Amino acid sequence: MVRNTATSVVTIDRFIIEQEHEHPGASGALSGILTDLALAAKMIANKVRSAGLADVLGSADQENVQGEVQQKLDLIANETIIKALDHSGRLCCMASEEVEELIPIPDKFATGRYVLLFDPLDGSSNIDVNVPVGTIFSVLPQRTKGARGTLEDALQPGTAQVAAGYVIYGSSTMLVYTTGAGVHGFTLDPLLGEFLLSHPNIRIPEQGRYLSVNNAYEQHWAEPVRALMRRYRGLDGDHTAMNVRYVGSMVADFHRNLLGGGVFAYPANARSPGGKLRLLYECNPLAFICEQAGGLATDGRQRILDVVPTSLHQRTPIYVGSKGDVAIANEMLGAR
């Protein structure tokens, strides 16, 4: 029997609309934001793919708000996202890891009731050596009343997120997102120029194979963190030894562990006592995705999504991944 497979191709646009239909009161604004982000992702993917040819590699000779040298592609990705979303009438403000202050919606454009937080190109220090990089985003509802958003709208705990996702620019380009109804992955078909549903309902294994951590900081970790890592590696206690895999590009490390199971950890260390990674642009969105896939995320004291942010560029330690493995981090680090 020949099966009709014509309807089995699900584009991201179709998927977003079908999900919207499950919420009869939805205005379509969130769907529009996701569609705009998918377009921005395709534009950034295009730049990343031709980076070596187009003189966009290397440093732009500027430092970002973290004091790190920005790569040219960081700036391009940042601008691409802002320009793809600022005129849509769906956002009241944005904030980016690459921009110190809140990004206002220009007066000439209408505003909406959502806030977009993003890291335009995570792992960008790896670009010059052709290692996968990614874009991470988080969408919050506006909580103040005015047309233009304020800092208060951006400084909400991760539990307030209505959507979060990432794009990985790897051997293929993938967009993975959640709106709180599971985690779904789409692969960019470069010939069609469309993201197609390739990984519906991603579930992270309960126990994982991979441990992703930068061991070079071991001497700067607190003793409980060192003990935890020894346990993960099967050196102490009864944990099966995990394979250490560390790309040094959070999206790539997180993505592998989401599919294969395991833990991504960036603990605090004596040099970065508050951790390195940013709560709003990196940790909250990936924690939301991980929990939606059946995993956990903690800072070692509490659930990442419960942390109440006090500043836009706040950093945090993070342990995110398979439920069974992150539970051990909670236990050994004394999380409540």
CB of 266 to ligand FBP, least distance (A): 6
Decide whether 66 or 201 has the Cβ nearer to ligand FBP: 66
CB of 91 to ligand FBP, least distance (A): 22
With CA atoms as reference, report the closest residue to 136 among 113, 163, 102: 163
CB of 202 to ligand FBP, least distance (A): 20
Q: In 10 A of CB 169, how many CB atoms?
A: 29
Q: Which residues are within 8 A (CB) of 129 and not within 5 positions of it... i.e. 6 or more apart? A: none
Structure tokens at 259: 């599919």
CB of 19 to ligand FBP, least distance (A): 29
Structure tokens at 149: 């958003």
The residue type of 329 is A
Angle at 275 between CA 278 and CA 246, to 5 degrees: 85
Residue for token pair 């380009």: 173
Decide whether 242 or 283 has the Cβ nearer to ligand FBP: 283
How many Cα atoms occupy the beta-carbon half-sphere of 295 within 13 Å?
A: 33
CB of 115 to ligand FBP, least distance (A): 20
CB of 269 to ligand FBP, least distance (A): 9
Decide whether 111 or 257 has the Cβ nearer to ligand FBP: 257
Decide whether 52 or 248 has the Cβ nearer to ligand FBP: 248
CA distance 65 to 169: 24
Q: In 10 A of CB 271, how many CB atoms?
A: 8
Decide whether 90 or 315 has the Cβ nearer to ligand FBP: 315
CA distance 232 to 235: 8
Decide whether 166 or 177 has the Cβ nearer to ligand FBP: 166
CB 96 within 8 A of CB 40: no
Structure tokens at 35: 């569609």
Q: In 10 A of CB 234, how many CB atoms?
A: 13
The site for ligand FBP (CB under 6 A) is made up of 68, 122-125, 214, 248-250, 276
CA distance 153 to 144: 6
Q: In 10 A of CB 224, how many CB atoms?
A: 14
CB of 253 to ligand FBP, least distance (A): 6
Decide whether 16 or 127 has the Cβ nearer to ligand FBP: 127
CB of 136 to ligand FBP, least distance (A): 9
Decide whether 30 or 258 has the Cβ nearer to ligand FBP: 258
